[in-house]
Chain A
Amino acid sequence: MNGLVRTVAALLASLWLAAFAWGQGNLEINTPAIAALRGAMQQRHGQLAPFYASGAVGVARDGTIQVRDANAVPLAQRQQVSGLVSAENNDRAALYREIARANGHPEWEADVRNTFAQRWTERAQSGWYVQNASGQWARKP
């Protein structure tokens, strides 16, 4: 009996450690839904990149992107830009939701969004416009 108790204890201890390591390590981001969103966003980025560079589109503080200066876009392209921006924001919202769900915690959606918001603005490229915490737009040096 003592041997059995010890075996069970050892087994459970290793399980606990594995669970702990997993819990601290990674979030699941490899589901088919997330992969599809990543692919769509990557594709769209090719079309959005010139508008980030011109300052027409900026990286907002809430994990979305926004048209911040429509005048920087030729009239003929304005509709295209707003379409791209809203498609991108739909995908981003779905991405945050899916990541939270894939990890078994739909209630994490807002936390996921906040984390992304912070990383998007921090990693925006030089010359792009990002929104600071008080809502002001600033050009990345």
Chain B
Amino acid sequence: MTEPLRRIPILLAALPLAACVTINIYFPAAAAEKAADKIIDEVWQLQQDGQKKVEPPAGGEKKP
């Protein structure tokens, strides 16, 4: 086994590391928008699936 061949795994190991750094340096705008929408839905109590918000029955106690 020659020496250069032994280095291949090391080189390959460096690849995903470099890739991770490249990916995460840039702000993921689409993912941020998705996250924002999720939080806004929750804070403003909006429903995206077309369902009406379930209001608790006005007054009186609930009987199971």
Contact = CB atoms under 8 A, between A and B. Distances in A.
Interface string A1-25: 1001100110010011001100111
Interface in B23-39: 23-24, 27-39
Interface in B15-64: 15-16, 19-20, 23-24, 27-40, 42-46
B42 to A, nearest CB: 6
B15 A99 contact: no
Contact of B23 (A12, A19, A111, A119): A19
Given A1-B1, A19-B23, A38-B39, A111 B32 contact: yes
Interface residues of B, number: 31
Contacts of A120: 36, 40
Interface in A12-52: 12, 15-16, 19-20, 23-27, 29, 38, 41-42, 45
Contact of B15 (A16, A29, A45): A16
Contacts of B42: 38, 42
A105 B12 contact: no
Interface of A: 1, 4-5, 8-9, 12, 15-16, 19-20, 23-27, 29, 38, 41-42, 45, 95, 99, 104-105, 108, 111-112, 115-116, 119-120, 123, 125
